[in-house]
Amino acid sequence: MSDDNPIILQTCPDDSREADAAVIWLHGLGADGSDFVPIVSELKLPDALNIRFIFPHAPLRPITINQGYRMRGWYDITSLDIAERDDEAGIVESGAMLTRLCDQQLAQGIAAKRIIVAGFSQGGAIALYAGLRYTHTLGGIMALSTYLPMQQRLQQESTVANHDTPIFMAHGLHDDVVATQFGLQTRALLQQQGYRVQWHDYAMGHSVCMEEINDISDWLDRILTQV
């Protein structure tokens, strides 16, 4: 995996206060950890929540669908039919990286129920993959403009610990990178297996809009206030 240190931001302006919640947010293909940093201030979350935001960088890897060009990615993409040909090795590797980041937050004193794993596109796929397999009960899983990879292995590999964990899914209705149908298929699969999915869609493409940011803010505030 990448040796780059993740970008870490804390919402509380009083640096003397240790964070008591963490959001680990993974970027999409070709971006890096800085991609979603500006959203932290746009969320306008209360200082009292005192959240540590962690934005890791994916490793540089050749991406088959982009003629093997090396870019930051959590796993390889070999086909436009992204949900059919999973790069299992890359997904497992990146899932393990996210698990280690969660474990590090536990070791620093943050309760598992105050850890949110989040991601956009490829990052959201890893958040779903790893979050549903994590052995401690998380506060929530946020999956933006994405889908669940390696769906056929979910039932045998998922943990009871996160079966009732709130899942926030959001997708653009005009997404031409990860088609909305992939998000809807994931929502249906998760709901069929009894997961708690909160679904949002927006009149946008493969991006994030202000309405979505407001919905994310409300969701985070609600989860971290009640724990």
**Tell me, which fold does domain 7-226 have in CATH?**
Rossmann fold (3.40.50)
**Separation CA 74–CA 27 (nearest Å):** 9
Task: Report domain extents, the chain.
Answer: 7-226
Strands 60-63 and 51-55, by their bridges, are: unpaired
Dump pLDDT digits (tens) for 6-57.
Answer: 998 877 656 557 899 999 999 999 999 999 999 999 999 998 889 999 999 9
For each successive 10 residues of the chain (227 residues), what is the average pLDDT?
Answer: 73 71 97 96 91 96 92 91 81 97 96 98 98 98 97 95 98 96 97 97 97 98 89
Tokens 């796993």 correspond to 75
Strands 115-120 and 21-26, by their bridges, are: parallel
DSSP 130-182: HHTT-SS--SEEEEES---SSGGGHHHH--GGGSS--EEEEEETT-SSS-HHH
Residues that are catalytic: 121, 175, 206
